[in-house]
Amino acid sequence: MPFKLSDIPVLTDKIILVTGGNEGLGKESVFQLATRSPAKIYLAARNPSKAEAALSEIKERAGDNCAPIQILNLDLSSFDSVKKAAAEVIANESRLDLLIANAGVMGADGVTKEGYEIQFGVNHMGHALLIRSLLPLMQETAKREGIAVGETRCVILSSGAEAFAPASIYPFEGLKGDLASTGMWARYGISKMANLHYASQLAKRYPEAETGVRFVSIHPGAVVTNLGDTLNNWPKIEWLIKKVGATLFMLKPVEHGVRNQLWAATCSDGSGLKKGPESGVYYHPVGIAGKGTKMAYDEGKASELWEWTEKELQPYLEV
């Protein structure tokens, strides 16, 4: 049975955090979740004015059914900002039920404040630090009476663009740098491969049966969002059209594209797609496992990414 937005259950008492909640899939996720009676939603965003505009739009759309929504300043290109945002949530909440790592950049050049290639740094490293910083709170949430195993969840948005990653996948020696010698699409593919590999490793290192927390990665499909705004001024070169043209002609509206992440974040009862996802699995829309490249299921590369990421994050996790 196909998953519909009306299948999203009531989310009474839940605390939710959505990164990139000011635009595209993130904004639509906040809107849909806000009408299911959660206790609070953190709309995490880098740009305060865009966050305020999104909040106004969401409240207008949701009307009297809108749950409390709080803007959380979060710049995933800065570890200091990530740590500050996580500390704010921890200081103000006794629980965190859902974390949707939705934010991302595509087509950008340069490095983050810590010197990581910008797409890898924002899409993977910033989210990795946020998740690891908030994971203790999520584990405590999962232990609460009346919370089923796997009901507390972290959903990480990957992409079918993981197919653009190079065969070696992770050029660790160059990830702290701009990777200027590597093409933009390959760099984006690396970041998206990292998203799904990291989710699978989180599930492995923090088993749902022991922690109660479920980790899922998803491909939202080809969706009309602002993610590629940085590409607007690029010349329409022939190779780019050939490489992604088929996908671009099948773009779906945000209201359709958001279904996979909302299914992964909320559904657990019933059968079929209403049963919900399994921890550590990568899903194409909606709820389809087993797709993606062979590299997506390379446990060795996923483990290498985990170990490298842990070493990079350790100084910030110890503070």
- Considering only residues 301 and 255, tell me which one the structure prediction assigns the higher pLDDT: 301
Average pLDDT over residues 24-44: 98
- State how many domains the chain has: 1
Classify residue 48: in a domain, yes or no.
Answer: yes
Q: What is the pLDDT of residues 127-186, one digit of tens each?
A: 999 999 999 999 999 999 999 999 999 999 999 999 999 999 999 999 999 999 999 999
pLDDT of 222 > 70? The answer is yes
Mean pLDDT check: name the lowest of 28-42, 70-84, 217-231, 299-313. Answer: 217-231
Note whether residue 264 is domain-resident. Answer: yes
Q: What backbone torsions phi and psi does residue 309 show, to the nearest 5 degrees?
A: -65, -40
| pLDDT at position 231 | 43
In a domain, 65, yes or no: yes
* Residue 319: cis peptide before it, omega within 30 degrees of 0: no
DSSP labels for 95-115? Answer: ---EEEE-----S--SB-TTS
252 has pLDDT over 90: no
Q: What is the DSSP letter of 223?
A: B
Q: How confident is the model at residue 228 (pLDDT cuts 50, 70, 90)?
A: very low
In this predicted structure, what is the pLDDT of residue 253?
Answer: 87
pLDDT of residue 129: 98
The mean pLDDT value of the chain amounts to 92
For 98-128, the pLDDT digits (tens) are: 999 999 999 999 999 999 999 999 999 999 9
Active site residues: 158, 188, 192
In a domain, 111, yes or no: yes
The answer to the question of residue 242 being in a domain is: yes
Tell me how far apart the alpha carbons of residues 169 and 78 are, in angstroms, rounded to a whole number: 24
Average pLDDT, integer, range 244-260: 72
Query: Residue 121 and residue 175: Cα distance in Å, rounded?
Result: 8
Q: What range does the domain containing 77 cover?
A: 8-317
Domain contains 2: no
Question: 3 lies in a domain?
Answer: no
**pLDDT tens-place string over residues 138-151:** 999 999 999 999 99
Q: How many residues in the chain?
A: 319
- The more confidently predicted of residues 103 and 227 is 103
Position 196 in a domain: yes
Residue-wise pLDDT for 57-90, tens only, equals: 999 999 999 999 999 999 999 999 999 999 999 9
Question: For residue 2, what pLDDT band results from cuts at 50, 70 and 90?
Answer: confident
- Using DSSP, how many helices (H) and how many strands (E) does the chain show? 12, 8
pLDDT at 67: 98
pLDDT band of 271, cuts 50, 70, 90: low
The residues that bridge with 156 in the sheet, in sequence order, are: 101, 217
Task: Determine which helix (DSSP H) or strand (DSSP E) holds 215, and give its type and residue range.
Answer: strand 213-218
Which amino acid belongs to residue 271? Answer: S
Q: Assign residue 224 the CATH number of its domain.
A: 3.40.50.720
